[in-house]
Amino acid sequence: MEEAASPVALRALRLLGTFDLRSRRQTLSEMSLRSGIPAATVYRLVKVLSEWGALERGEDRRYEIGRRIWELGLLADVQTEIRQIAAPFLQDLFVATREAVYLAVREGNSALYVDRLTGRVAPKVYAQIGSRLPLHSTGVGKVLLAYAPDDVVDAVMTHLRKFTPYTVVDQSQLEKELRAVRRRGFARTVQEMDLMTAAIAVPVFNTEGLVESALGIVTSDLKKDLSRILPALVVTAQGIGRSLPPTHGTGL
């Protein structure tokens, strides 16, 4: 019989789970409030996690995820293999477009961003490597959702959170968009996750015809005609797909 998980370990994981895209840096009291763990216990857990390198404290006494967690995340197969294969293709796409380039895979009901490429001339956008964002409100997310199993689609449809006034949260409208993604081969979003950005994304098919990941470009120029970028995006996705081993797919 397997040994039950330690309550202390579970609390530590709950504490780390309070960090997300909108709560990158937190005080002890904020972590306590979000996790439901008493402040005294949070203090002790944070001390241990900080000593190990899972958390780091800034000069303002707020904590953020530490480098040790980041280093562990890079060991995941989905990160290392796909990133290594896609890296030269992403570089070429960035040079050609001078816009922020993102590669994401589906992890459960979220889009996991496994790589990005930006520069000083590229916009500051919302997703970092390792970020998990909703499938229904991002360009790469909508691509991944369009090719996801029915149970994933059903689960996402029951929790459509509105991030901006433009986020699509009507189930029938979203279903229509997903059908359009499969028909035309790309997804577009404008101000759905962030009022300052627009995105266009395409699927990356592996050699077995399965959707391995999604490739997207995000811009802060809301007037930009992203359809002009689509051919370069498609060619890049095809190049990545042809280089992938035939043993993957979005069955996560």
Flag whether pLDDT at 8 surpasses 90: no
For residue 74, what pLDDT is reported? 61
- Give me the CATH code for the 7-68 domain, please: 1.10.10.10
Amino acid at 154: D
- 17-75 pLDDT, tens digit per residue, is 898 767 788 999 999 999 999 999 999 999 999 999 899 988 888 999 887 887 676 66
* 128 — pLDDT class (breaks 50, 70, 90): confident
Q: What percent of the chain has pLDDT over 70?
A: 87
Q: Give CA–CA dist 87/103, Å, rounded.
A: 10
* Element at 27 (helix H, strand E): none
The pLDDT of residue 126 is 62
The predicted-structure confidence for 217-248, as pLDDT tens digits, reads as follows: 999 888 889 999 999 999 999 999 999 876 54
Of the chain, the end-to-end C-alpha distance in Å amounts to 27
> Of all helices (H) and strands (E), which one includes residue 249?
none
Task: Say whether pLDDT at 199 is over 50.
Answer: yes
Q: What percent of the chain has pLDDT over 90?
A: 56
pLDDT tens digit sequence for 177-193: 999 999 999 999 999 99
**Predicted confidence (pLDDT) at residue 120 exceeds the cutoff of 70:** no
Split at pLDDT 50, 70, 90, the class of 207 is confident
Burial class (CB in 10 A: 0-12, 13-18, 19+), 252: middle
Model confidence at 203, pLDDT cuts 50, 70, 90, reads: very high
pLDDT at 124 over 60: no
Instruction: Delimit the domains of the chain by residue range.
Output: 7-68, 74-243
The backbone torsions φ and ψ at residue 84, rounded to the nearest 5 degrees and listed phi first, read -65, -40
Spell out the CATH class of 74-243.
alpha beta
Average pLDDT over residues 74-89: 74
- The pLDDT mean for the chain works out to 86
Q: What is the pTM of this model?
A: 0.71
